[in-house]
């Protein structure tokens, strides 16, 4: 991308998230996780992208439009490992750096790290509870 965004807007968040999830789908580790749950066509991905865009606009622009519950939804995905979360963050950071100037890039990266830590901790706690119940 030649020109980087100087500010975060709803429109450029859509450009960013599309680029990010295109990279996720191409990744050998994350691609199969996402495509097995979402699908492979733009039509399959449209609802997910709508939720993702509502989430990031709510988080970064204080839109208040996202009403979902991220942790329980992600807890439904089987067999996630720490490496999945690390890879997500790696791709996120590379994509954000491709699209945004330094200040908005830092803002997005800091928020994404908080989101990823929350999801990872929630997932680990969920898996621990499942294991404890199975032992029971």
What domains does the chain contain, in order, with CATH numbers? 10-135 (1.10.490.10)
The band of 116, judged by pLDDT with boundaries at 50, 70 and 90, is confident
Instruction: Say yes or no to pLDDT of 117 above 70.
Output: yes
Which pLDDT does position 50 carry in this prediction? 96
Instruction: Please provide the average confidence, as pLDDT, over all residues in the chain.
Output: 92
Which pLDDT does position 40 carry in this prediction? 94
Q: What percent of the chain has pLDDT over 90?
A: 68
78 dihedral zone (left: phi>0; alpha: psi -120 to 50; beta): beta
What does residue 100 show for φ and ψ, rounded to 5 degrees? -125, 145
> What would the pLDDT profile of 55-72 be if each residue is shown by its tens digit?
999 999 998 888 888 888
- CA distance linking residue 27 with residue 13, whole number of Å: 21
Instruction: Say yes or no to pLDDT of 1 above 70.
Output: no
Instruction: Record the tokens describing residue 62, joined without a space.
Output: 């204080």
Residues with Cβ within 8 Å of residue 18, at least 6 apart in sequence: 49
Cβ–Cβ < 8 Å for 44, 38: yes
8-state DSSP, 40: S
Tell me the pTM: 0.86
């Amino acid at each position: 991308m030649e020109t980087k965004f100087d500010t975060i807007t709803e429109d450029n968040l859509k450009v960013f998230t599309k680029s990010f999830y295109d990279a996720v789908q191409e990744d050998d580790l994350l691609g199969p996780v996402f495509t097995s749950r979402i699908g492979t066509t733009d039509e399959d991905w449209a609802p997910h992208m709508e939720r993702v865009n509502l989430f990031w606009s709510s988080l970064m622009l204080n839109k208040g439009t996202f009403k979902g519950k991220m942790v329980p939804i992600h807890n439904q995905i089987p067999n996630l490992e720490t490496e999945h979360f690390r890879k997500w963050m790696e791709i996120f950071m590379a994509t954000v750096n491709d699209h945004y100037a330094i200040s908005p890039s830092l803002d997005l990266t800091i928020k994404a790290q908080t989101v990823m830590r929350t999801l990872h901790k929630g997932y680990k706690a969920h898996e621990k509870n499942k294991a404890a119940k199975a032992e029971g």
